[in-house]
Every structure is written in C-alpha cells, then in structure tokens.
Amino acid sequence: MKFGKEFAAQMVQEWQEAYMNYNLLKTILKDVLRFRRLSAPSPEAAATSHGSLKRRASLYRAFSGLAGRYRGSPRKSEDEVILVSAVQESGGDEHYQTLFLNASDEGGDYELVFFRSLDSEFNKVINFYKEKVEEVMGEADDLSKQMDALIALRIRVDDPVVGGSNIANLPIHGFSSVSESVVHPPINIRNPGWSSMEVIQEVEMSAEANSEDSNKGTNNENYKKDMETFRPASLEVLDVKINVEPETPVSTKKKVILNSNTGLSYSKEGLRKAEELMNQAFVEFYRKLRLLKSYCFLNQLAFSKIMKKYDKITMRKASKSYLNMVDNSYLGSSDEVTKLMERVEAAFVKHFSNGNHRKGMNILRPTPKKERHRITFSMGLFTGCSAALLIALVVIIHARDILNSEGAPQYMDNIFPLYSLFGFVVLHMLMYAANIYFWKRYRINYAFIFGFKQGTELGYREVLLLASGLSVLALGCVISNLDMEMDPRTNSFKAITELIPLALLTLLLVIVFCPFNIIYRSSRFFLIHCAFHCVFAPLYKVTLPDFILADQLTSQVQALRNLEFYICYYGWGDFTTRTNTCSGSRVFESFYFVVAMIPYWFRFLQCLRRLFEEKDSGQAYNGLKYFLIIIAVAARTAYELRMGMALKIFAAATSGAATIMATYWDIVVDWGLLQRDSRNPWLRDKLVIPTKSVYFVAMVLNVILRLAWMQTVLGFRQTPFLHGKALTAIVACLEIIRRGIWNFFRLENEHLNNVGKYRAFKSVPLPFYYENKRI
C-alpha cells in the first residue's frame, strides 16, 4: 500500500483536517517534477543556470541578513539549500519558516511554493498538537482531583477508626502522584480479608514515602517526630457533591419536581457507581492519549516521507535540515503525552485492577476486532440457501397455481401478514448492512457516532449473516407450511401447520432476549437498552442511538401492526380453521390506530425532552413535525377503516402537509443539503462522496418514496393483479428502503459536524463536583 493511502487509513477521522495535507504537498512535488522534465536543460545551460558567482554571493548575503532575524539559525554550508528557523510572534507563539536559498534557480518558484505550503502544514500541525496537549494536561489535573476524592471516599466508606481519629483525615494522593498513592482495591473486587489496619498501614507508608521524597536531607528522627504531630485538614477533599445517580424515571421526576442535587453518599452503592464512572473516564482519557501520540508519530513520519521525496525529485539535500527542525520542535521533543500515558497506566492498574497489570492493560487497550473467515463463509452459505429457498418458493407457487386457488384470499388475509413481518425485518437488516459497508468505505466513524464499545460493533458481514440466517428460517417455514398443507399425510395436523409462524416469532424473541453470551450479546443488549429508552422517552436523557432507533421504528409501522395481528390471530381468532375476527373488533381497530402512532409519539416526546434540556428551538419545530405526522397517520387510518369523502379530504390535506414538512426536514436539516451558497451548489461545503450526482439522486428518491405512504388516500388500495395485503407490504418495503438511504446521509452529516469541531471522543461525566463547578 502506498504511504498516502496508509496515512489516510490511520488518521483519526474527526481530526483529518488537522493532519498534514500529504496529497497537497505531493501534488506540488509532481508539478516540480513535471517542470524539471519539460525544461531538461543541456549540460551547457545547466552550467550557466546557476548564474554568475557574483550574483550567487549577493544572493547568499541577502538571505544571510534575512536569516539573522531568526533565532538560532545555523550557518549555511555548501550543501544546504534551506534555512529553517522559529520566528517568535508577538503573542509568544513560535512560527516556523523556511528560507529556500536557491529560489533564483530555474523552476525555483515551484520549490518555493512547496516550502511555503510545507511550513503552513507544519505550523498547523504543531499548533493543533499544542492545543490538544494543553487540553489533556487540564483533563489530567481534573482526573487527579477526582481520584483524590475517590480514594478518600473508598476509605471513608470503610470508616476505619484508630485511636479515635478518622482515617479520612489522612493524606490522599491521586493519580498525579500515583507511585505514592493509596493502594485500595475497587469495592466490587475487594478482598474479604482487607482490614482497616491494612488500609491504615498503606496510608502511613504513602505519607512516609512522600515525606522522604520531599525532605531527603532531613534525618529520620525529626521526620518521625513530625509525623507524630501531623494532622491534615479534615475531609476537605470530600467537601464535594456526587453526581452518580443514574438517569432513571424516578431521578428525572425528582430533578424536575424537587430540583434537587445529589449529595455525597458514603455508601458502597455510591462508591460502586463512582468507580464505574471513573473507570470509563480513565479508559476514554487513555484512548485520547493514544490517538494523540499516534497523531504526533504519523505527522512526523509524513514530513519525513515528503522531504525524502523532495530530495529524490530535486536531487538536493534538504531533508536533513528540515527533519532536524522537526525533531527539535515541540512536535518531536515533547514527552508530556508519553508521561501521562505511563501515569494513567500505573494509576488504573493500581486502583481499578487490584494491581493486576495484564487485566488493567487489557481494559485500557482492548484487542482490535479481527475479521473471521468463518463469518464470511457462514454468510455466503446462508445467502446461497436463502436464494435457493426463494427460487423454490416461486417455483412451488407457480407449479401449484396457489395464487389462483380457492384458499388464496384466505391465505393472504391470515398467513401472509404473519410471514411478511420477518420480510420487513430482513430487509431492514440488509439496508443496515449496506449502510455499514458504505460508511466504512467512505470512512464515516459510525461506531463512535452510535457510541458502540470498542471492538463490539458489528460489521456488514455480521449483519448480513444475521439477515441471511433469519431469511433461511423464514423461507424454510413458509415452504414447510405450504408443503404440510399439500401433503395428505400431514393435512390433518392443521394446528401444527398454523403454529409455525408463532414458533418462529417465539424463537426470534428468545434469541433477542437471551442472557447468555451468544449471538452478539453486547449488540442485542445495546438494542434492548435503546428500545427501553424509546418506550420511556421523556424520562431518559435522549442520545443519538435512542432517536435514531425511534426513527427506524417510524419506518416499521406495518411490522408493528403485524405484531398486533399476531396477538389477535392467535389470541382471539380461530387459527385452526384459518379465520379471524380482527377486522370486526373495535378493540383491534383502536389498537390499529395506536400502534401506527406509537413510533411518532416516541419521537415527539424525545423532541420535548431535548427542548427542555438543550433549550434548542429547532427541537420545537422537529416536535411540531412529528405531531403533524401523528395527526396525518390518525386521519389516514380513520379513512382506511371508515372511508368517507370528508375523511379523505382531511387525510389528504394532513398527509400532504406532513409529507412536505418531513421531506424538507430530511434534506435540509438531517442531511444538511440544499445550501445555495456552499462550495458545492445546492449541496453543502463538505461531501464524503466525490460524485455529486449521488446526492441529487438521493434527494429525488427521498421525495418519491415519501409520497408512497400516501397510497391509501390516493386510492391505490388494491389492484386487479395484486392483493391489498401484498400492496401494503410493497409500500412498507419502499419506506424501509427510504429509511436506509436516509440513514447513510444522516450519519454522513453527523460525521462531518464532528470533523468540523474535531470531536473525536465522547464525554464521560465525572462523579464528583463542587457546588458551582466540577473538581
């Protein structure tokens, strides 16, 4: 792989604009090479191209006088062609600038442009690196104070008393001085035999070690005398509040009604929650340090590669001088990040892994996810089986002329909705797999956006494996159901035949809620967690995965109605004779209304919660959009069940208004497109797909597919060649496809927003804070 591609592949995508623009510099060098090849002077011309000796001497004196303004400029030797120096700016910052000493040579203008661009890229890199190092140093101080409070809280929870003096009065040292800090295991892994005396001994040893480091010249007797009278301030480090109470419906009600803050709880439960937050904070902070170190290394390597390429093209020896400057600059000489990593490792191993170095490092540096050949093989196997079963199903239907048989309408009214549920799920999974494939191809960091734990996110192969496996089960059940009806030997077992869809649904639910670590448990539990937050939307803080899942549910309204039909068909219908009374039940009709509006109601409540917390007026308009959709869905459903011209007019008006507003919101707000004054007219400034026509095609498709859900009020409820249930299923599939397209461009826009703000890490709430500010 060429270095340019490898360099881009290892970038932190949210920081990509802060990296050295290797492709730009490479393009300039290509211009230099092209000019040198075109000019290709003869030996005589080459001898005179350098000008007279007098001219070169005057040029050297001019550059030497200019270089005298720079701090620490080395003297030019015969082989040197550049002078690199740091210019002190008025604000105290250093600005690196390169003087090209052969600018008067033929083609020197191209090389001068190269060095100006090189300096611009280097100053950009070093300024960004300095800013991020200062940021992590501040975060390290905050974490150190947090660790002081956590260690004190651990000791305070045990509340050991020696001679009437509380152990919490002893000195505490956080991870900033981790080598002398208190060795106290986390509460969830604490030894039953860890006694109060052992805690006291550890703290005393810590105090002794600190005193020895700070007073190496004092004798031991004076030190012991000082220690006897040592009495630090009482519980000052614990004069904080704790914010570890989870976001639950109860806590939300307390916050809204009572407007109360959580105080510091000297309990094991409070300690456990604080430890969990600190554990997450350390892991995320260490990940940030690793990526910052990688940023430093990759940029140094890129500067080395580009300068060697320059030397090769121009036959000069400029790389040594420039790379010496890079090595001596803050980018090459700073070791703050490395030291911080060592301190974090030592603190984490000591305080969160009970001294187990391997366990601690496995948490800080999780093993990268590996692609497994068996997943690809299984995916191909199930995909082939699905294709074969689908072909077999078509052949069976055509050979037996099932669609024209007497039982065809009965089958479509009762059995088709049961099996179409699995078709909707499989299609949605296929669209999600396609989304993942294109997100990875265009380097959209979907795992970070969704907040997946590192190493647990599913790739498109895993999603395709699950989708193809479910399709094999569903198609197998459909064919077995048809075969059992046609076979005289099994024709008498009507109940068993009709129970096959229910058995498949039960199996699917068992797999989803299975507590054992099989079939991607972390992903299943993540889905359940987000679904639970959707159900109790106003009572939980709304995160991006929560409202993205709620948006997916709005495209699965027909699947939710099919679930309702499952309950009616097997609960109140006579499934042994393949008949149901659902259409005539007022209870079923009432839930038919409710089920269609539930997903939009979830999104409406999420918008209200975000409006309440974020004070963002855009959420008010978004909530209004979903409220209008709820009215439109209710009107459409009423017209579908009751008919009538008045209902048709009202349904058409509300559906049209909802469609226009939802389409505008999709394209302008969610996708960020249709910006007239952008660099890409009617799109946006930044695009991840180089082919601009893709965006226009996506916008047109979104408009067309948005209109598909109005087929009820437009009168296309049933066609002579297609059953009404089949038409409804096709419209539902079109909506799922539209949602899949929407998913890609929605996350693309979110990713570009992260890139614009250099947002590459999720914020982890810290547990301890003072009244007005976090410690």
- In this prediction, residue 257 has a pLDDT band, given cuts at 50, 70 and 90, of low
- In this prediction, residue 690 has a pLDDT band, given cuts at 50, 70 and 90, of very high
- In this prediction, residue 389 has a pLDDT band, given cuts at 50, 70 and 90, of very high
pLDDT at 178 over 60: no
Give the tokens for residue 402: 């099932």
- Mean pLDDT check: name the lowest of 202-216, 352-366, 672-686, 697-711: 202-216
Give the tokens for residue 208: 């002794």
Residue 385 confidence (pLDDT): 96
pLDDT at 133 over 50: yes
Would you call 274 helix, strand, or coil by DSSP?
A: helix
User: pLDDT (tens digit, 9 = 90+) per residue, 614-627?
Assistant: 888 899 999 999 99
Q: Between the ranges 5-14, 104-113, 631-640, 739-748, where is the mean pLDDT highest?
A: 739-748
- What's the residue count for the chain? 775
Mean pLDDT of 419-425: 95
Residue 85 confidence (pLDDT): 76
pLDDT at 493 over 70: no
Please give the DSSP secondary-structure letter assigned to residue 403: G
Give the tokens for residue 310: 């320059």
Distance, in Å, from the CA atom of 732 to the CA atom of 709, rounded to the nearest integer, reads: 8
pLDDT at 165 over 90: no
Q: Between the ranges 128-137, 195-204, 643-652, where is the mean pLDDT highest?
A: 128-137
User: pLDDT (tens digit, 9 = 90+) per residue, 138-149?
Assistant: 999 988 888 888
Beta-bridge mates of residue 753:
none
- In this prediction, residue 151 has a pLDDT band, given cuts at 50, 70 and 90, of confident
Residue 464 confidence (pLDDT): 96
Residue 246 confidence (pLDDT): 53
Q: Is the dihedral of CA 141, 145, 148, 151 positive or negative?
A: negative
- In this prediction, residue 718 has a pLDDT band, given cuts at 50, 70 and 90, of low
Report the run of H or E that residue 150 belongs to, with start and end.
helix 108-158
pLDDT at 484 over 60: yes
Mean pLDDT of 281-296: 92
Mean pLDDT of 559-584: 84
Q: Are 30 and 772 in contact (CB under 8 A)?
A: no
Residue 719 confidence (pLDDT): 64
Mean pLDDT of 47-75: 42
Residue 59 confidence (pLDDT): 39
Residue 646 confidence (pLDDT): 84
DSSP 428-467: HHHHHHHHHHHHHHTT--HHHHHTPPTTT---HHHHHHHH
pLDDT at 262 over 90: no
Residue 42 confidence (pLDDT): 52
Residue type at position 9: A
Q: Are 314 and 349 in contact (CB under 8 A)?
A: no
- 475 versus 76: which is more confidently predicted? 475
Mean pLDDT of 172-180: 46
- In this prediction, residue 259 has a pLDDT band, given cuts at 50, 70 and 90, of low
Task: Count Cα atoms within 13 angstroms, Cβ side, for 188.
Answer: 11
Mean pLDDT of 5-13: 86
Residue 31 confidence (pLDDT): 87
Mean pLDDT of 387-408: 86
Residue 74 confidence (pLDDT): 46
pLDDT at 468 over 80: yes
Please give the DSSP secondary-structure letter assigned to residue 248: -
Residue 32 confidence (pLDDT): 85
Residue 256 confidence (pLDDT): 56
Please give the DSSP secondary-structure letter assigned to residue 267: S
pLDDT at 587 over 50: yes
Task: Count Cα atoms within 13 angstroms, Cβ side, for 527.
Answer: 15
- 213 versus 603: which is more confidently predicted? 603
User: pLDDT (tens digit, 9 = 90+) per residue, 598-615?
Assistant: 999 999 999 999 998 888
Looking at every residue in the chain, the average pLDDT score rounds to 79
With a pLDDT cut of 90, the percent of the chain lying above it is 39
- 254 versus 599: which is more confidently predicted? 599
∠ Cα 740 743 749 (to 5°): 150
Report the run of H or E that residue 64 belongs to, with start and end.
helix 53-67
Distance, in Å, from the CA atom of 244 to the CA atom of 250, rounded to the nearest integer, reads: 14
